[in-house]
Amino acid sequence: MREDEDKFMNPLNELLRREELIEQASLDALGLLDEFEAAHYARSFHAAPASVQEEIRRLQAAVATDAALLADEEPPADLRSKVMGSVREAMDEEARELKPIATIGAKSVRAAVRAETASELIERERLSLTVRRAERVVSVWRAVSVGLAASLVAAVVWAMALDTNVQMVERLLQNEVAAKDLESNKDVAPTLRSVILAQGRFVYSLPGVDPKAGVGGQLFHLPEDGGKFYILCFGLPTNGEYRVRLMSSSGSYDLGSFVTGSGVTGCWLASAALDGASVLRIEVVDRNGVPVMKSSML
């Protein structure tokens, strides 16, 4: 009954399965198992079939000869001589100082202490080599991580540059389409050409209040031609009636109303002499007085 309880409480009494032996083969080859785990692994290994043992030997041989896991540093040159000297001294003293039974025990203890010291030196150096191998593996993975991060940054920058170029080409195509639409509109094109070429003109942008509506336009002011105003707009519903209001530092002006056509609409509005007054705001409102476009100076 006591033996069954010990087996239940101590899982190391159970032998490892083939999958567990394979998983821990690398750890055993690198000396990363503690004393109890190593003993448990050794018992399970010797109890495994010959085919499994051969598979584990091949795996551990590959791990032991992996150049990436080998440390760059060599053990101290005098380590071998220290170990061999300690062992040789213990053996010589054991053979030289054989005495009666009363003294043999004490000499054997001293020899055992020296052998234990040699074992500690070997174990300490083995642990140092294991730590250096682990540090080398960490360095390799750190370098790989830095390389992957640099590649990701380069990919993001390239994607942003490509997106900018695509947007630029799209704007150029839209401008070309708009220019062709204006040229095909016989009512707008001739007048607009003269307005654009007029001397001393001022141009005000009229973006739509709702960015999703696709509405916009421009208001031209020609001070040298009697203060005339000319509006050009697009995206408004056909046959819609709209009014243009201008607020300046010297007062407000009602520039009149216009009716939209299909596509692009352009027409002359009332004249106003601003006499150097600064324009504060321009609004295009519908029949209900709701603004559909507001100005910004170009």
Could you read off the pLDDT of 258-271 as tens digits, one per residue? 998 877 888 889 88
Are 265 and 235 spatial neighbours (Cβ–Cβ below 8 Å)? no
8-state DSSP, 208: B
pLDDT band at 167 (very low <50, low <70, confident <90, very high): low
Q: In whole angstroms, give the CA distance from residue 30 to residue 137.
A: 12
Rounded average pLDDT over 151-155: 80
Whether the CA torsion 7, 9, 15, 17 is positive or negative: it is positive
Cα separation of 41 and 15, whole Å?
8
Q: For residues 83 and 88, give the distance between their C-alpha atoms in angstroms, rounded to a whole number.
A: 9
Alpha carbon distance 70, 77 (integer Å): 18
What per-residue confidence (pLDDT) applies to 277? Answer: 81
pLDDT at 280 over 50: yes
3-class DSSP state of 96: helix
Which pLDDT score is estimated for 118? Answer: 62
Pairwise CA distance, residues 273 & 204, whole Å: 16
pLDDT at 78 over 80: no
pLDDT at 8 over 60: no
Residue 70 clears pLDDT 80, i.e. is over it: no
Q: Which long-range contacts (CB under 8 A, 24 or more apart) does 69-74 make?
A: 69/30, 69/133, 69/136, 69/137, 70/133, 70/136, 71/129, 71/132, 71/133, 71/136, 72/132, 72/136, 73/129, 73/132
219: left (phi over 0), alpha (psi -120 to 50) or beta: beta
Region 78-96 average pLDDT: 76
Q: Of 282, 132, 127, give the one whose Cα is nearest residue 218.
A: 282
Name which residue leads in pLDDT, 46 or 7.
Answer: 46
H helices present in 65-100, as ranges: 79-96
Residue 46, pLDDT score: 92
Cα separation, 180 vs 171, whole angstroms: 14
Confidence of residue 177 (pLDDT cuts 50, 70, 90): very low
Whether pTM exceeds 0.85: no
Mean pLDDT, the chain, rounded, equals 76
**For residue 6, what pLDDT band results from cuts at 50, 70 and 90?**
very low
Q: For residues 58 and 65, what is the distance between their CA atoms, to the nearest angstrom?
A: 11
Lowest mean pLDDT among 159-163, 188-192, 231-235: 188-192
Encoded amino acid at 169, one letter: V
Q: Is the pLDDT of residue 32 over 50?
A: yes
Which has the minimum average pLDDT: 99-108, 149-158, 231-240, 274-283? 99-108
- Looking at residue 19, its pLDDT comes to 92
Q: What is the mean pLDDT of residues 5-27?
A: 73
Structure tokens at 47: 């109890």
Task: State the CB neighbour count (10 A cutoff) for residue 222.
Answer: 19
Question: What confidence category does residue 188 fall into, taking pLDDT thresholds of 50, 70 and 90?
Answer: low
Contacts of 126 (CB under 8 A, 6+ apart): 31
More reliable by pLDDT, 69 or 237 = 237
